[in-house]
């Protein structure tokens, strides 16, 4: 951080409107979702996606994975994801490091995301240490505090390799003692034994904190912890093998989407030829299918790789913050989660 003077008054003006996270319990989306099922285009797609998610919840044999890429947590869906964990509506999470660290853990430390009600040129934002995600602001100084907190957590651990799941569990444990927000996904996942995997964990604020931990330890001639990405894949595959029937609720795509889908192939390579493909799958995305990327690849395309069944899958091409609250509220109020068996997959690794 440079020492150039900043206009703190201007910064305070820009960081004045806090993003408020939607509460899926506060409204009942069932009537509108039912109506959308009788429409066409994206509305009907969303209606079918809601039906499939409710089927996952109603299926006593189905373990559900929430898969998140993109910035929906910063954009107002953070409490939505927390409610899915709190109400036993998901059994495991695969997400980007940004979703888990830069957004959820960041707010658990007491920081906020802000609506960008006006957007000056981005050089001005940089001079004020304000980071921009489309129409949302983050205070860079608060983000760097998050980096240093990650380093502090790493400093307190035994110097050995950790999967992202193991390290994020330590983050959740730290939040129980030190956090400033009850509705944190990381904290709730720790308390409910829901494992969180970030296959590209260091591609986030966690990376800065872990690099600082490693460099400081190297300078001091001390041993340091490392991240074990192979353990990530092995542990998630172990869960898939143990789970049997599985369903995917995917927001965005990218690395988390491919990572959870690949567990089927990995299980086969390990000799579990009877492993089931993911029986249910929903993906909400705005990615263009024409670029050949994983984010945009359809779930039917995934079937050609032996990852997903085509019987109960639905793509919803929409910006997720505009449709996900409807899907989640619909599922919450239909109540199939009530009485669902709690799988507590995190206990597999205790």
Q: Tens digits of per-residue pLDDT, 251-272?
A: 999 899 999 999 999 999 999 9
Q: How does strand 136-139 pair with strand 114-115? A: antiparallel
pLDDT above 80: residue 190: yes
pLDDT tens, residue by residue, 203-232? 888 999 999 999 999 999 999 999 999 999
For 106, the enclosing helix (H) or strand (E) is helix 106-108
Alpha carbons 11 and 260: distance in angstroms, whole number: 40
Mean pLDDT of 166-187: 97
Q: Report whether 46 contacts 316 (CB < 8 A).
A: yes
Q: Where are the alpha helices (DSSP H) in 196-269?
A: 205-219, 229-243, 254-269
Is the model's pLDDT at 2 over the cut of 60? no
DSSP string, 111-169: ---EE-SS---HHHHHHTTEEEETTEEEEHHHHHHHHHHHHHHHHTS-SSEE-HHHHHH
Distance CA(217)–CA(318), nearest Å, equals 45
pLDDT of residue 182: 92
277's torsion region: left (phi>0), alpha (psi -120 to 50) or beta? Answer: beta
pLDDT at residue 287, rounded to an integer: 81
User: Is the predicted pLDDT of residue 157 greater than 60, yes or no?
Assistant: yes
- Please give the full DSSP string across 253-266, using - where no structure is assigned: -HHHHHHHHHHHHH
Percentage helix, strand, coil for the chain under 3-state DSSP, each rounded to 5: 50, 15, 35
Beta pairing partners, 67: 94, 250
Q: 201: left (phi > 0), else alpha (psi -120 to 50), else beta?
A: alpha
Average pLDDT over residues 272-283: 95
Question: Which pLDDT value is given to residue 120?
Answer: 85
* Active site positions, annotated: 307
Please say if the pLDDT value at position 1 is more than 60: no
- Reported as a single tens digit per residue, the pLDDT across 296-346 is 677 667 667 666 777 899 999 999 999 999 999 999 999 999 999 999 999
C-alpha angle 300-306-308 in degrees, rounded to nearest 5: 50
Q: Is 91 helix (H, G, I), strand (E, B) or coil?
A: coil
Full-model pTM: 0.95
Which 8-state DSSP code applies to residue 341? P
| Mean pLDDT, all residues of the chain | 94
Among 51, 46, 50, 108, which Cα is nearest to 78's?
108
Residue range 172-194: mean pLDDT, rounded:
97
pLDDT band with cut points at 50, 70 and 90 for residue 102 = very high
Please say whether the beta carbons of 196 and 100 come within 8 A: yes
- For the chain, the maximum distance between any two Cα atoms, rounded to a whole number of angstroms, is 66
Percent of the chain with pLDDT over 70: 95
What count of Cα atoms within 13 Å lies in the side-chain half-sphere of residue 150? 29
Q: Which of 103, 106, 94 is nearest to 251 (CA)?
A: 94
pLDDT of residue 220: 98
pLDDT at residue 295, rounded to an integer? 65
CA dist 95 and 35 (Å) reads 31
């Amino acid at each position: 951080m440079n020492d150039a003077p900043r206009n703190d008054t201007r910064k305070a003006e820009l960081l004045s409107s806090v993003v408020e996270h939607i509460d899926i319990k506060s409204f009942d989306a069932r009537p509108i979702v039912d109506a959308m099922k009788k429409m066409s285009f994206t509305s009907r797609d969303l209606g079918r996606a809601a039906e499939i998610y409710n089927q996952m919840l109603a299926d006593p044999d189905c373990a559900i994975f929430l898969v998140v890429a993109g910035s929906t947590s910063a954009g107002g869906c953070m409490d939505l994801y927390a409610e899915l964990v709190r109400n036993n509506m998901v059994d495991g999470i695969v997400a980007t490091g940004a979703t888990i660290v830069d957004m959820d853990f960041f707010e658990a430390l007491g920081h906020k995301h802000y609506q960008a009600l006006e957007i000056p040129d981005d050089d001005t934002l940089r001079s004020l240490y304000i980071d921009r995600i489309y129409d949302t602001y983050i205070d860079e100084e608060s983000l760097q505090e998050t980096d240093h907190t990650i380093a502090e957590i790493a400093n307190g651990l035994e110097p050995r390799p950790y999967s992202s799941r193991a390290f994020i569990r330590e983050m959740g444990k730290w939040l129980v003692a030190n956090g400033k927000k009850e509705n944190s996904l990381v904290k709730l996942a720790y308390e409910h034994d829901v494992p969180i995997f970030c296959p590209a964990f260091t591609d986030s604020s966690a990376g800065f904190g872990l690099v600082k931990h490693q460099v400081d330890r190297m300078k001091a001639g001390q041993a340091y912890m490392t991240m074990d990405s192979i353990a990530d894949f092995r542990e998630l595959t172990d869960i898939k093998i143990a789970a049997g029937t599985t369903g995917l609720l995917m927001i965005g795509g990218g690395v988390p989407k491919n990572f959870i889908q690949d567990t089927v192939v990995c299980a086969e390579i390990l000799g579990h030829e009877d492993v089931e493909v993911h029986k249910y799958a929903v993906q909400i995305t705005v990615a263009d299918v024409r670029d050949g990327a994983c984010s945009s690849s359809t779930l039917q395309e995934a079937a050609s790789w032996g990852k997903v069944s085509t019987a109960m899958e639905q793509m919803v091409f929409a910006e997720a913050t505009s449709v996900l609250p409807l899907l989640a509220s619909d599922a919450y109020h239909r109540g199939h989660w009530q009485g669902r068996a709690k799988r507590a997959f995190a206990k597999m690794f205790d």
